[in-house]
């Protein structure tokens, strides 16, 4: 069938500058460019991943939005029309990668942080200690101490706690959806930064074993790669119920991506599709979840925190309360901007609620029930900067997880084509010639730099707020003000409007 | 105009005097001391806490109330009558003072709990919501609930203090004027604290002056609790409601929660509220790393952050504490059985010209003084 879909982008090659070195052709993972006496582009294939642009030694390539105009229509936008063409031509579901890119309000952008002036001095983080250390794990509501040999000692036994040097961890991204080199870089960076990476649901490759103490392993509905060794090689275990980019649905890693390494790590035959069912087939209620939590705690001899990851959906507060009472040590909440390697577009773009609202509602609910200490709250889903981190923490999160931001640090351009396996940057692909491009050492350095930069900025923010510990910002909504939000939104977020 | 601008004084003034042998002395000393630090306040608040001042009612809860009008007094009194035997009820004695204008109705009550209050509490669950989650029917929890109820729900009524054998005298004005107005020179106590206020964050109103109290805890505070937002939300989990438009009240409630309800020793409570830095914990020079880590993990939301020096009084003792990097001053002195703590050394020397020892307290490390063993106030 002849396609009616116009190309999204136009690749322009300046043939006066071009030396015909063909590097661009080699670099394009999508087969857009070819050589016919000179470099020629098939615009239909271009995804604007910028790989050719970045590596052209002559700077001879530019990529532009296709200026092709549709008759102006506020309702039937070009994107809508093109989607209909696609489905009319294929009869399938539309697929996409990364997080929701639609124009929903970003509450982070409507919140402003406070700072000290005169009455309480701000603190200079270059001169004074500024503490970001955060412990992941369940805490009791109170402690007991006794006098022993003239010193007070703790008598309360605490559950397992993981020390994080900064309240930023890496979000779950599976080996399979991303490359082994990307996984290695995340694990190394987590180890260097004193924080955690998360395997996602694709198992743990042996090459990551040295970084065990900085790894959360995921137990998802497909149970890929889950065995005793997997649990032993982790700092914490996470049961994945849902994901912000695809709440309520399962996952599908196509057989083409299941090469030998992925097959061994996931413990499935090479070339078969890896299907994660929508629900866990042993979890149909909160009691079932509790059973799995305790099964995993038994399997790890109560030495490791066991948490649950859910997508932020309408009733997230009640769900989180149930999870806390079911015995989870941490709850990972993924907002509607959360990313993915592959998801039906209609699910990604229309389901879930923003992480800002979810975290505020959950924190409130757990406090009302007096069980806030029982769980560490991890907020994720579209965290773009240290400003977002600070705001998420002020709303009530203990820890923030970053997925998309980490990928961008490694070179990702958010072209949203992860599900094709053609990632020219070697991140979301298993094609060996592409994977090779992502140099783990350099990617590690980029990740470490990002976490370091954000951590420094967090310290500046704390200093401006006149506090020297992240705990004093956590849940301190008094230090936030809303701009342009209505009364109900302010009430849910628990913040006052600017000027009050 | 350059050069003629008045100097803008900063911060508040606090002072505390404590006698270890429970020897009672007149309030005039503390009055003289706080007067020295006149420039540290701006006339928008002053107050005193005296301990051991009501020996004849030592087992009664002494409630000092401020009322904006007669209606709030009537409502409060009928509420108190429901829950307590009121053994004495009288206006707090004052003398007219040219600088103190428009005081509220000032009244004090000496109360004993009605014997069946616990049963009633269970039956009438509606009156004092929400129940404090302590799991035990400590009568002091009941008293805390009554105070919270009055401050929250009875408009125009405000509890200035509610402890046994102690009382708080406070209002809008310079502290020396407030002290004279309340005739505190006519009381004798074994411990006095005083506060001169330079309010910046909250309006100057009578209820907003220091000390802040709950039960016999009283707090005078110089500084600002920048972590107020989370301290307040943390306390709400345990049934404390911050209603007084000031950050200081969280300190009193945190002491009550951690020490009285959670049973942490005072020293450990201070370690939670002004936690040592991780860099020092990691070094573990004093072998307290495990304790410090546990406290921080569990009580991180109770960490008091921002510039402060505070004096916390309770029956039988006094604590001086500053923030972790000591952004507000606090000086200690000792002379025989007396212990002095003040924002400025001058305030101590004014009443004790030749102390045996004077020192500045260390950042985040409490100075604690208690009655000698066996001494009863």
Q: What is the CATH number of the domain that holds B274?
A: 3.60.20.10
Show which of residues 187-206 on chain B sit within 8 Å of chain A, judged by CB atoms. 200-201
pLDDT at A358: 98
Asked if A152 is an interface residue toward chain B (Cβ–Cβ < 8 A), one would say: yes
Residue of A nearest to B224 (CA): A120
Put simply, the answer to whether B299 touches A143 (Cβ < 8 Å) is yes
Asked if A474 is an interface residue toward chain B (Cβ–Cβ < 8 A), one would say: yes
Report yes or no on B87 lying in a domain.
yes
Q: Which residues of B have a catalytic role annotated?
A: 12
Report yes or no on B357 lying in a domain.
yes
- Chain B residues with CB under 8 Å of A137 CB are 297
- Chain B residues with CB under 8 Å of A161 CB are 297
Show which of residues 43-102 on chain B sit within 8 Å of chain A, judged by CB atoms. none
Confidence of residue B1 (pLDDT cuts 50, 70, 90): very low
Confidence of residue B250 (pLDDT cuts 50, 70, 90): very high
Q: SS3 sequence, chain B?
A: CCCCCCCCCCCCEEEEEEECCCCCEECHHHHHHHHHCHHHCCCCCEEEEEECCCHHHCCCEEEEEEECCHHHHHHHHHHHHHHEEEEEEEECCCCCCCCCCCCCEEEEEEEEECCCHHHHHHHCCCCCCCCCCCCCCCHHHHHHHHHHHHHHHCCCEEEEECCECEEEEEECCCHHHHHHHCCHHHCEECEEEEEECCCCCCCCCHHHCCCEEECCEEEEEEECCCCHHHHHHHHHCCCCCCCCCCCCHHHHHHHHHHHHHCCCCHHHHHHHHCCCCHHHHHHCCCCCHHHHHHHHHHHHHHCCCCCEEEEEEECCEEEEEECCCCCCCCEEEEECCEEEEECCHHHHHHHCCCCCEEEECCCCCCEEEECCCCCCC
Asked if A69 is an interface residue toward chain B (Cβ–Cβ < 8 A), one would say: no
- Output the pTM of the full model: 0.93
Nearest to B298 among A133, A140, A367 (CB): A140
pLDDT at A339: 96
pLDDT at B197: 85
pLDDT at B247: 84
Report yes or no on B6 lying in a domain.
no
Show which of residues 216-275 on chain A sit within 8 Å of chain B, judged by CB atoms. none
Nearest to A151 among B232, B233, B288 (CB): B288
pLDDT digit string, tens, across residues A263-286: 999 999 999 999 999 999 999 999
Taking the CA of residue A195 and the nearest CA in chain B, the distance in Å comes to 16
> How far from each other are the two terminal CA atoms of chain B, in whole angstroms?
55
pLDDT at B3: 37
Counting residues of chain A whose pLDDT is more than 70, the rounded percentage is 100
pLDDT at B120: 59
Report yes or no on B246 lying in a domain.
yes
pLDDT digit string, tens, across residues A283-324: 999 999 999 999 999 999 999 999 999 999 999 999 999 999
Mean pLDDT for all residues in chain B:
89
Say how many domains are in chain B: 1
Once rounded to an integer, what is the mean pLDDT over residues A456-468?
97
Task: Provide the 3-class DSSP secondary structure of residue A413.
Answer: coil
Counting residues of chain B whose pLDDT is more than 90, the rounded percentage is 77
Report yes or no on B337 lying in a domain.
yes
Which of B133, B221, B230 is most worth mutating to test chain A (most A CB atoms within 10 A of its CB)? B230
Show which of residues 245-264 on chain B sit within 8 Å of chain A, judged by CB atoms. 261-264
Taking the CA of residue A428 and the nearest CA in chain B, the distance in Å comes to 37
pLDDT higher than threshold 50 for residue A180: yes
pLDDT at B137: 58
**CATH numbers and ranges of domains, chain A:** 9-92 (3.30.70.20), 135-497 (3.20.20.70)
Put simply, the answer to whether A469 touches B305 (Cβ < 8 Å) is yes
Asked if A122 is an interface residue toward chain B (Cβ–Cβ < 8 A), one would say: no
pLDDT at B140: 87
**Of B123 and A143, the one with more pLDDT:** A143
pLDDT digit string, tens, across residues A147-156: 988 899 999 9
Put simply, the answer to whether A367 touches B238 (Cβ < 8 Å) is no
Put simply, the answer to whether A474 touches B301 (Cβ < 8 Å) is yes
Report yes or no on B8 lying in a domain.
no
Confidence of residue B5 (pLDDT cuts 50, 70, 90): very low
Residues of the domain holding B276: 13-370
Residue A331, CA distances (Å) to A291, A340, A361, A396, B162 in order: 16, 19, 13, 12, 41
pLDDT at A399: 98
Once rounded to an integer, what is the mean pLDDT over residues A118-134?
92
Cα-to-chain-centroid distance, residue A204: 18
The answer to whether the beta carbons of residues B346 and B35 sit under 8 Å apart is no
Report yes or no on B376 lying in a domain.
no
pLDDT digit string, tens, across residues B143-187: 998 999 999 999 999 999 999 999 999 999 999 999 999 999 999
Cα distance between residue B264 and residue B267, in whole Å: 8
pLDDT higher than threshold 50 for residue A234: yes
- Chain A residues with CB under 8 Å of B306 CB are 120, 466-467, 472
- Chain A residues with CB under 8 Å of B324 CB are 468
pLDDT at A413: 97
Report yes or no on B4 lying in a domain.
no
Once rounded to an integer, what is the mean pLDDT over residues A181-198?
98
pLDDT higher than threshold 50 for residue B6: no
pLDDT at A245: 96
pLDDT digit string, tens, across residues B278-293: 999 999 888 889 999 9
Once rounded to an integer, what is the mean pLDDT over residues B264-278?
96
Show which of residues 106-125 on chain B sit within 8 Å of chain A, judged by CB atoms. none
Put simply, the answer to whether B262 touches A143 (Cβ < 8 Å) is yes
> Shortest CA distance to A341 belongs to which of A243, A457, A431, A433?
A243
């Amino acid at each position: 069938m002849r396609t009616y879909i116009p190309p999204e982008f136009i690749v322009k090659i300046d043939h006066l500058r071009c030396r015909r070195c063909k590097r661009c052709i080699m670099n394009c993972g999508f087969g857009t460019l070819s050589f016919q006496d000179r470099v020629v582009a098939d615009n239909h294939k271009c995804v604007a991943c910028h790989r050719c642009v970045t590596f052209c030694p002559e700077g001879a390539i530019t990529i532009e939005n296709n200026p092709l105009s549709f008759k102006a229509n506020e309702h039937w936008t070009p994107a809508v029309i093109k989607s209909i063409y696609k489905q009319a031509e294929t009869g399938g579901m539309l697929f996409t990668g990364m997080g929701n890119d639609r124009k929903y309000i970003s509450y982070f952008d409507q919140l402003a942080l406070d700072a000290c002036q005169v009455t309480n001095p701000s603190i200079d983080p270059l001169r004074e200690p500024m503490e970001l250390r955060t412990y992941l794990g369940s805490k009791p509501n109170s402690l007991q101490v006794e006098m022993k040999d003239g010193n007070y000692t703790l008598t309360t036994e605490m559950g397992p706690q993981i020390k994080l040097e900064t309240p930023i961890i890496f979000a779950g991204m599976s080996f399979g959806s991303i490359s082994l080199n990307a996984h290695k870089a995340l694990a190394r960076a987590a180890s260097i930064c004193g924080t955690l990476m998360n395997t996602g649901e694709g198992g743990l490759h042996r090459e990551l074993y040295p970084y065990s103490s900085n790894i959360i392993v995921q137990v998802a509905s497909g149970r890929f790669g889950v065995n005793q060794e997997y649990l032993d090689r982790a700092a914490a275990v996470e049961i994945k119920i849902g994901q912000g980019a695809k709440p309520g649905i399962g996952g599908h890693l196509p057989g083409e991506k299941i090469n030998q390494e992925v097959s061994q790590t996931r413990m499935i035959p090479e070339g078969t599709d890896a299907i994660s069912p929508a629900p866990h087939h042993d979890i149909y209620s909160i009691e079932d979840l509790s059973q799995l939590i305790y099964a995993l705690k038994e399997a790890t001899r109560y030495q490791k925190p066991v948490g649950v990851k859910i997508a932020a959906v309408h009733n997230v507060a009640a769900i989180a309360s149930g999870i806390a009472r079911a015995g989870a040590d941490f709850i990972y909440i993924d907002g509607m901007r959360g990313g993915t390697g592959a998801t039906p577009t209609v699910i990604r773009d229309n389901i879930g609620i923003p992480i800002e609202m979810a975290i505020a509602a959950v924190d409130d609910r757990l406090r009302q029930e007096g069980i806030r200490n029982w769980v560490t709250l991890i907020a994720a889903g579209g965290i773009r900067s240290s400003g977002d981190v600070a705001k998420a923490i002020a709303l009530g999160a203990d820890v923030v997880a970053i997925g998309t931001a980490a990928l961008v640090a490694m070179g990702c351009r958010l072209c949203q084509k992860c599900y094709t396996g053609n990632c020219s940057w070697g991140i979301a692909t298993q094609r060996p010639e592409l994977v090779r491009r992502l140099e783990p050492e350099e990617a590690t350095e980029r990740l470490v730099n990002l976490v370091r930069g954000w951590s420094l900025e967090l310290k500046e923010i704390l200093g401006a707020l006149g506090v020297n510990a992240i705990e004093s910002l956590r849940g301190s909504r008094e230090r936030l003000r809303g701009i342009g939000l209505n009364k109900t939104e302010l009430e849910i977020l628990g913040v006052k409007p600017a000027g009050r | 105009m350059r050069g003629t601008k008045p100097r803008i004084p900063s911060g508040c003034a606090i002072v505390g005097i404590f006698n270890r042998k429970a020897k009672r002395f007149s309030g005039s000393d503390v009055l003289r001391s706080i007067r020295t630090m006149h420039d540290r306040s701006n006339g928008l608040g002053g107050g005193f806490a005296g301990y051991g001042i009501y020996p004849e009612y030592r087992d009664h809860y002494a409630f000092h109330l401020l009322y904006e009008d007669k209606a709030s007094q009537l409502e409060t009194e009928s509420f108190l009558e429901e829950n307590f035997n009121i053994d004495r009820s009288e206006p707090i004695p004052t003398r007219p003072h040219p600088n103190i204008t428009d005081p509220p109705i000032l009244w004090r009550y000496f109360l004993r709990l009605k014997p069946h209050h616990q049963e009633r509490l269970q039956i009438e669950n509606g009156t004092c919501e929400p129940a404090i989650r302590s799991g035990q029917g400590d009568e002091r929890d009941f008293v805390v609930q009554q105070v919270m109820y009055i401050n929250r729900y009875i408009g125009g009524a405000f509890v200035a203090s509610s402890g046994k054998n102690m009382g708080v005298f406070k209002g809008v004005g310079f502290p020396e004027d407030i002290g004279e107005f309340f005739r505190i020179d006519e009381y004798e106590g074994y411990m006095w604290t005083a506060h001169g206020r330079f309010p910046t964050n909250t309006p100057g109103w009578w209820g907003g002056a220091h000390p802040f109290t709950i039960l016999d805890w009283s707090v005078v505070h110089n500084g600002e609790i920048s972590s107020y937002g989370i301290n307040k939300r943390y306390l709400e989990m345990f049934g404390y409601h911050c209603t007084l438009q000031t950050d200081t009240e969280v300190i009193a409630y945190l002491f009550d929660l951690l020490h009285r309800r959670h049973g942490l020793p005072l020293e450990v409570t201070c370690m939670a509220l002004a936690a040592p830095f991780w860099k020092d914990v990691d070094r573990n020079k004093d072998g307290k790393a495990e304790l410090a880590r546990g406290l921080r993990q569990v009580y991180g939301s109770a960490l008091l952050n921002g510039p402060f020096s505070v004096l916390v009084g309770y029956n039988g003792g006094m604590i001086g504490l500053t923030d972790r990097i000591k952004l507000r001053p606090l000086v200690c002195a000792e002379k025989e059985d007396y212990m002095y703590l003040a924002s400025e050394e001058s305030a101590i020397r004014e009443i004790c010209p030749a102390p045996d020892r004077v020192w500045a307290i260390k950042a985040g490390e409490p100075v604690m003084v208690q009655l000698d063993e066996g001494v009863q106030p």
